[in-house]
Amino acid sequence: MDLAQLWTICAANGIVLEAQQLKALERYGRELRYWNERINLISRKDIEHLYERHILHALAALKYITLPPKARCIDIGTGGGLPGIPLAIARPDVHMLLVEAVAKKARLVALFAAHTGLPHLQVKRARIEELATDPAYQRAFDCAFARAVAPLPRLLQWACPLLKPTGMLVAYKGGDIAGELNAASTLFPTLQATVHRLQLQGAPWFEQNQKLLVVCRLTEQGEC
């Protein structure tokens, strides 16, 4: 998949990208490829499918969720900047905090973020468990994103203290997650989870590989 195909597929699925945003995604992809040869940020076997399996995958959430204007968002365990950087490029009004515990990854993601020129895109080196106990971040976010980080119950334990009462956790998952959902519901009895099977026109790979988007809300934040 090249940049033109990425734009076409996004447009076909209601994800509108302007020329400047495409250029920002192209630069991010180029830098991610370069540094991935030196530091393992994403799976090297997938690097030739970077646009489809990583950048488009990140953007796919925008087909299924609605972020309020100027939403405050957090990307838990961002790794190489996914999904946070593509989402912030597509929604430049959003305030996005990328959290990464590994120092060398955090430094690179900070470089990638700076090159987007987005003023509301920030990086913090921290363990998410520690951040969740910091009053400065508690009940601060409209949305928490997590991609290939941890099982759903653990993600909810981390995200719950960080989210506003109206907030949501958006977890990128795949395959059979019935066990994770059952465990999460046991831990959080008021959990409301909506499972979306990713179906993007022009990109059958997501459906073929059972890629999912799990949107979680808690009706009573007092459970946290």
59-116 per-position pLDDT tens digit: 999 999 999 999 999 999 999 999 999 999 999 999 999 999 999 999 999 999 999 9
Give the Å distances, CA to CA, from 189 to 171, 178, 186, 219, 220: 18, 15, 6, 9, 9
Q: For residue 206, how far is the Cα from the chain centroid?
A: 16
| Percent of the chain at pLDDT exceeding 90 | 92
Domains and CATH numbers, the chain: 3-223 (3.40.50.150)
Does residue 168 contact residue 196 with C-beta atoms inside 8 Å? no
pLDDT of residue 219: 78
Other CB atoms within 10 Å distance of the CB of residue 142: 18
pLDDT of residue 222: 58
Give CA–CA dist 139/26, Å, rounded: 34
Does residue 213 contact residue 172 with C-beta atoms inside 8 Å? yes
67-77 per-position pLDDT tens digit: 999 999 999 99
pLDDT of residue 221: 61
pLDDT of residue 42: 87
